[in-house]
Amino acid sequence: MSRVMDYSVSSGVVRTFFVFLDLPTHVEYRVPDMPILPEGTHIDVEMDVRYPRDPRKTRSLDGPYVVHRRRLIFTTKRPDAMGLSQYLELQPVVNHSKG
């Protein structure tokens, strides 16, 4: 008898990580689960992120970002990351005007 494991995304949302391309180091920030977002999606970001080398320091990110690249990764090797995850590489939107 074979055993079938169900790794489906039944809720319509997946584990999501933001990667801000304008920060000096590559850090993946875990954010709440989101639906799969296509490249080109604009996101208004208002958040403080901690520096990985000194978690006492924070940096404020405030403004529009665009999903430059999206990576979908499916894994069964790590119990804490089992299933589908999306990594959204975000670039700041230039020449924007706040109205």
Q: What is the pLDDT of residues 4-31, one digit of tens each?
A: 444 445 568 999 999 999 998 888 999 9
21-65: pLDDT as tens digits: 999 888 899 999 999 999 999 999 999 998 888 889 999 999 999
Taking the C-alpha atoms of residue 75 and residue 87, their distance in angstroms, rounded to an integer, is 13
| pTM beyond 0.85, yes or no | no
